[in-house]
Amino acid sequence: MPGCALAGAIAISPPRLDITLTGTQAAEAVKVVNLDTNPIRLKVSVAHWRLDEHNRVEVIPPTPQSADQWLLITPLEFVVEPGKFQTLRILVRPRVKPEVGEHRAMIFLDEQPPDTKEFATRNLARIGVGVYVWVPPVERKAIFHCADAGYFQKPMALLDLESTGNAHVRPAVQFVVWPKEKFPGKAGTVKVQESPSSPVVVPAGAVAAGLVPDIPVLPGTRRKIVFPLAESLPAGEYWLDLSGQVDSLPIAEVVPFIVPELPSGDARDGAH
């Protein structure tokens, strides 16, 4: 199901809400789909959040300027029959005069225990929908500090990014791993996708390719986005080819790295 967030047998579309607030209020909606063969009962809650040092959502206390204080959601508890959907309606209505820039909330949908004892031991799903409310004028400013790559139980890389504006920035960056002798000579020479919805294709001569996770770098923060390049690679010298942009900031970087010969018996997929 394209353009959806999935957890268990629950699909939500769109997976996040981007709302520009130009008046006193704004309305949005999400569709909650039951992909299971049994009814699913869900309860809605809202929280303020940030990302911790591992890029995981961390719930934090609300403030008058956090968007969780501005959301009116209906319904707050509902049952979705198998193969059916429920529309969740969201109204943004600030309780105070909003400051310019970004305001965040996370809408959590928690699956409730079923009434049927036969299914009472099933794992219950939790899914979150990020909500970004932007009050103009919005300024997105990114600083690219560095990129690195190496072998840490598997080939890994990182981007070190900073957001200095009043709204978050996201990387839209591809990577290609070339054996040193096959690098085409310039970052971004070959594209790995025909379009944002098409699959990633490893270019001829390369050994791996993919997309840097589009983890948000929240305003006023600096973040290292760490990601795997492959499950394993033969020992040798490689060049990591990074190209794309972080909002309006272009990225074109080449990082050499080495995959070492491992002692006999060690596995390249993470022995320790």
Q: Which of 135, 169, 201 is the last residue of a domain?
A: 135
Question: Nearest 5°: CA angle at 8, between 7 and 11?
Answer: 50
Phi, psi of 71 (to 5 degrees): -95, 135
| CA dihedral for 262, 267, 270, 272, sign (positive or negative) | negative
Q: Supply the pLDDT for residue 266.
A: 55
Indicate whether 169 and 187 sit together in one domain.
Answer: yes
What is the domain count for the chain? Answer: 2
d(CA 112, CA 109): 9
d(CA 184, CA 204): 11
Indicate whether 113 and 216 sit together in one domain.
Answer: no
pLDDT band of 119, cuts 50, 70, 90? low
Contact between 28 and 13 (Cβ < 8 Å): no
Look up residue 94 and give its two tokens. 């600030």
| Amino acid letter for position 133 | V
Q: Supply the pLDDT for residue 8.
A: 74
Q: Which domain holds residue 247?
A: 142-259
d(CA 223, CA 216): 9
Look up residue 264 and give its two tokens. 């006999």
d(CA 16, CA 3): 9
Indicate the length of the chain as a whole number: 272
Q: Which of 135, 162, 195 is the last residue of a domain?
A: 135
Model pLDDT for residues 10-37, shown as the tens digit of each residue: 999 999 999 999 999 999 999 999 999 9
Q: Which residue matches tokens 């990074």?
A: 242
Indicate whether 102 and 148 sit together in one domain.
Answer: no
Model pLDDT for residues 64-103, shown as the tens digit of each residue: 999 999 999 999 999 999 999 999 999 999 999 999 999 9
Indicate whether 127 and 198 sit together in one domain.
Answer: no
Contact between 43 and 80 (Cβ < 8 Å): no
Q: Which of 135, 166, 200 is the last residue of a domain?
A: 135
Indicate whether 156 and 246 sit together in one domain.
Answer: yes
264 domain-assigned: no
The structure's pTM equals: 0.88
Indicate whether 101 and 154 sit together in one domain.
Answer: no
Does the pLDDT value for residue 130 go beyond 70?
yes
- Tell me what the pLDDT averaged over the chain comes to: 93
DSSP, collapsed to helix, strand or coil, labels residue 68 as: helix
Q: What is the CATH number of the domain that holds 241?
A: 2.60.40.10
Indicate whether 125 and 149 sit together in one domain.
Answer: no
